[in-house]
Every structure is written in structure tokens, then in C-alpha cells.
């Protein structure tokens, strides 16, 4: 069978070690339903131009449908000696329909066949990833609504900075994942061209109607250039870029939640069902799901770099290096699917201990910027206000006195413009959040607006 497929000019059979080394069945067996889909369209296209009769095309399509059923039932097993899924399908088809099966590859190379199969597969896979990503965004919106009035510390440099609404925090991640959604949709759009009919690299002497097969497969148009059609992996890179940035965003979210869950911070509560214990320490509750999510981000980035490096060093058009393009791509897709399977449900069950969170504001230092801006409203240049409040903070730290509980004499010394102002009432974490009403700020009203805008964008 191997000899009949492509080895007419060879005097020796392939070395068994080379066959094991070069086969791709372990990678591409998953592609069989989509390979068959492309082959049926090709058969119909050959019938349209008279290379096949209508009866022949129908017999080929019926045989291909039988192969899919055998595949789904598990009755069909791939044979490594046939190298890949495409040769396995053709071999099985020839067993079913006889010599007619040998006509299917007319006007087609494995180069354009693989390129078409991958686009069909990825088109369906990206639809599923989009559903999962929308579910994750929905989970974050759910938490944003539940926690929009909860006040927690916001951090820069992992140092307490200013009070924020926890809803505002969740919406920050919503915005990051919305950008991922746009990248995912761009990647899906980049798939919407059909390479079928490009041949090995130069097209065909047969009058193939590429627009017909493109429409038959649901593509908007055929690809423009046959060489670029079989050489390009830009659409793979678009998908891997989405996967890598999605992984980065998941990793940053996971890192935050892991930190806020620690005993030292302790104001975030993770659900038991998404944590594990220790084999030796009975008290432990470990955020393993989040740690695994954080860990998988490295692999997602690596798969992008892997293919970029491969692509930069190979000439036009198809080179066997490109067989390896699917290894990292499939691994990245599988990893993203796993993350999207578990992360949304975890997020929906995260709770906040607001009382514990607000204990972090006991020294009042997170409200220093509010004092500086109060002075600005009194006419002081900001740099002078910053210097004055900074000096006051130094005194408070030295004397271990909360910034919002200084005595009148100290207040008048450093903040004479605010003489008579009751800072203990002005300088609360909740008031600080409520004052930040700039567009996109953390004020409760702004968080509500942000939630409403995103819901409208998503048609909720």
C-alpha cells in the first residue's frame, strides 16, 4: 500500500525507523472528520468539472461517510505504516469503493489537503473556545456584580496603594479577557479562506472551480496565491498569540487570587471544591487549580515561540518542518480548553471577607493621595501637596498614629489649609472609593456603568 501511494520512483521501501520518526498519525488522527469533509467537497468539485461522474462522486461521498461512522464508533484504527490520517482515509476508502478511491486525489496534494483540513478543524475548535471564553467573562461579571460594593485594597508593586471596589477589580480582568475575545475572533476570521485547489504549490492543470469548493465548505473565498496557501501558518500564529496572551491573563488573575488567599493577606476565600490538601499537613488548603493555571501559561507562550522560530528559518513553500506545526498548536488548544473547563466555575465561587480586607486600611496610609488632592482643591500645587502629605506620613509612621486619626495640632502644622476639617470622616476607605468618579474609575457608580456597558456589548 505504501509503495502504491507515493513511492513509484523509489527502489527501496522506507526504513522502519524513518517511518516511525516521520509518521504524524499520533498528531493528526483527531482530524479525520474534517479531512473527510474536505474530501467530499473535492469529490463534488471534480464532478462539477467532469473529472468524475455524478455517480462516482456520490459513491466516494458515501464511502467517506462510512469512514466517519467507523471512526466515531472506534471500529476504524489508524495504521502507522500509512503515515498520516489522510493516507489512512484514502486507503480505507479504496477498500470500500475499490479502484474508484484512487481517483479522489486527482488535482490535489496533501499540502492543500492538510491546509484545508486544518482550517476546517480550527474553525470549529475556535467556536468552542469562544463559548468557553464568554463563560469565563460571564463568571467575572457575576463576581463584579456580587462584589461591586465591597471595598478592598488595591496594589501597585504588591504594596497597598489605594482602596478600590472589588467589582472594579473583577472588571479589570473582564476588560483583559474582552481583548482576548477580540483576538480570538480575529484568528477565526483569518481562517476564512479555502486553500483547496492550490495543489502542492502551483495550482493544477485541471480546471478546478476553487470558488465552488470554497463555498461548499462554508468559506467566504478561496486563497489568492497557491504558494502562500501551502506555506503560510499565519493563522496558526494568530491562534497561538491568542492562546499565549490568554494564558498570561489567566496567570496574572491566578497569581492575584493565590496571594489574596494567603494567611498574610487572607481577605479572599476560595471554594473547597477547587482546592486540595496536603499529604502531611492537615491544616493545608492549597489553591492547586490556580497554580496549575499559572503554570500552564508558560507552555502557551512556548508554543508560540516554537512556531515563530520554525517559520523564520524555512524557505517557500512547504517543508516537512511544518508537520510539527500541529504539535504545539494542538497542545495549546487542549490546554486552553482545560483552563476554560474549570476556571469559570472556580471564579463564580470566590468570596470576599470585606471586614478582613478593610483591616488593611487601619493605618490610613492608603488615603494619603486623597489628602493631597484635598489640598489641591484648596489651591496648592500638587507637588507641594505631595511633599507636605509625605512629611506627615513619615511622622505618622514614626509615632505609629493612623493618618486619619492625627491630632488637631499636627493637622494644623502640616495641613493648615484643612484646619477644621474632620479627617476621620473624610478619610475612610469607602469614601475614597466613592470619590473616584472619573470615567473608568473605581467609584461604585462607575463600576455599575462598566458592568452595564459590557453586558450590552455581549447582548446580555
List the beta bridge partners of residue 163: 153
Selection from 132, 153, 129, 144 nearest residue 175 by Cα: 144
> Where on the phi/psi map is residue 266: left (φ > 0), alpha (ψ -120 to 50), or beta?
left
Q: Are 287 and 270 in contact (CB under 8 A)?
A: yes
Strand partners, 268: 352
Please check whether residue 440 is in contact with residue 446, taking contact to mean a CB–CB distance below 8 angstroms. Answer: yes
Give the C-alpha separation, 28 to 35, whole Å. 10
Cell numbers of 162, please? 489605594
Alpha carbon distance 454, 171 (integer Å): 9
Dist CA 68 CA 30 (whole Å): 11
CA angle 116/122/124 to nearest 5° reads 110
151's enclosing H/E stretch is strand 151-156
Beta bridge partners of 152: 164
Packing angle of the helix pair 110-146, 32-48 (nearest 10 deg)? 130
CB 163 within 8 A of CB 429: yes
Q: Cell numbers at residue 235, please?
A: 493563522
Residue 118 grid cell: 486544518
Whether the CB-CB separation of 335 and 293 falls below 8 Å is answered with no
Locus of grid cell 496610609: 365
Residues in CB range of 208: below 8 A, 6 or more apart:
45, 49, 107, 197
Which residues are known catalytic residues? 157, 278
Q: Is 405 helix (H, G, I), strand (E, B) or coil?
A: helix
Helix segments in 110-201, DSSP class H? 110-146, 166-190
What are residue 276's phi and psi, to 5 degrees?
-130, 170
**Residue 153: beta bridge partners?**
163
Task: Identify the bridge partners of residue 156 per DSSP, sorted by sequence position.
Answer: 159
Amino acid at each position: 500500500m505504501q509503495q502504491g501511494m507515493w513511492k513509484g520512483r523509489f527502489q527501496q521501501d522506507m526504513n522502519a525507523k524513518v517511518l516511525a520518526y516521520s509518521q504524524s498519525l499520533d498528531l493528526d488522527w483527531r482530524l479525520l472528520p474534517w479531512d473527510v469533509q474536505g474530501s467530499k467537497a473535492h469529490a463534488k468539485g471534480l464532478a462539477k468539472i467532469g473529472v468524475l461522474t455524478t455517480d462516482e462522486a456520490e459513491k466516494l461521498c458515501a464511502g467517506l461517510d462510512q469512514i466517519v461512522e467507523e471512526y466515531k464508533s472506534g471500529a476504524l484504527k489508524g495504521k502507522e505504516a500509512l503515515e498520516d490520517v489522510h493516507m489512512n482515509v484514502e486507503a480505507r476508502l479504496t477498500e470500500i469503493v475499490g479502484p474508484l478511491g484512487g481517483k479522489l486525489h486527482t488535482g490535489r496534494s496533501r499540502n492543500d489537503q492538510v491546509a484545508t483540513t486544518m482550517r476546517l478543524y480550527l474553525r470549529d475548535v475556535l467556536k468552542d473556545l469562544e463559548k468557553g471564553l464568554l463563560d469565563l467573562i460571564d463568571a467575572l461579571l457575576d463576581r463584579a456584580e456580587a462584589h461591586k460594593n465591597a471595598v478592598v485594597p488595591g496594589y501597585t508593586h504588591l504594596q497597598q496603594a489605594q482602596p478600590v471596589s472589588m467589582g472594579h477589580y473583577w472588571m479589570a480582568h473582564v476588560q483583559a479577557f474582552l481583548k482576548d475575545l477580540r483576538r480570538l475572533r480575529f484568528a477565526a476570521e483569518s481562517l476564512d479562506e479555502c486553500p483547496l485547489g492550490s495543489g502542492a504549490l502551483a495550482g493544477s492543470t485541471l480546471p478546478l472551480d476553487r470558488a465552488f469548493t470554497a463555498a461548499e465548505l462554508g468559506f467566504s473565498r478561496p486563497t489568492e496565491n497557491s504558494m502562500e496557501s501551502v506555506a503560510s501558518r499565519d493563522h496558526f500564529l494568530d491562534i497561538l498569540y491568542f492562546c499565549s496572551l490568554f494564558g498570561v491573563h489567566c496567570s496574572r488573575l491566578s497569581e492575584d487570587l493565590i496571594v489574596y488567599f494567603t494567611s498574610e493577606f487572607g481577605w479572599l476565600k476560595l471554594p473547597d471544591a477547587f482546592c486540595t490538601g496536603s499529604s502531611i499537613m492537615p491544616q493545608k488548603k492549597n489553591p492547586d487549580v490556580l497554580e496549575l493555571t499559572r503554570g500552564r501559561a508558560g507552555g502557551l507562550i512556548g508554543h508560540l515561540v516554537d512556531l515563530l522560530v520554525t517559520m523564520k528559518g524555512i524557505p517557500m513553500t512547504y517543508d516537512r518542518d511544518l508537520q510539527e506545526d500541529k504539535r504545539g498548536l494542538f497542545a495549546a488548544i487542549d490546554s486552553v480548553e482545560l483552563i476554560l473547563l474549570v476556571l469559570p466555575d472556580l471564579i463564580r465561587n470566590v468570596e470576599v471577607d470585606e471586614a478582613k480586607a478593610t483591616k488593611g486600611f487601619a493605618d490610613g496610609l492608603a488615603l494619603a493621595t486623597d489628602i493631597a488632592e484635598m489640598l489641591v482643591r484648596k489651591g496648592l500645587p500638587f507637588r507641594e501637596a505631595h511633599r507636605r502629605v509625605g512629611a506627615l506620613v513619615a511622622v505618622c509612621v514614626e509615632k505609629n498614629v493612623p493618618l486619619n486619626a492625627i491630632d488637631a495640632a499636627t493637622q494644623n502644622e502640616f495641613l493648615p489649609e484643612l484646619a477644621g476639617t474632620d479627617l476621620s470622616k473624610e478619610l475612610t476607605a469607602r469614601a475614597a472609593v466613592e470619590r473616584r468618579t472619573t470615567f473608568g474609575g473605581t467609584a461604585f457608580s462607575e463600576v455599575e456603568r462598566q458592568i452595564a456597558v459590557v453586558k450590552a456589548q455581549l447582548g446580555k
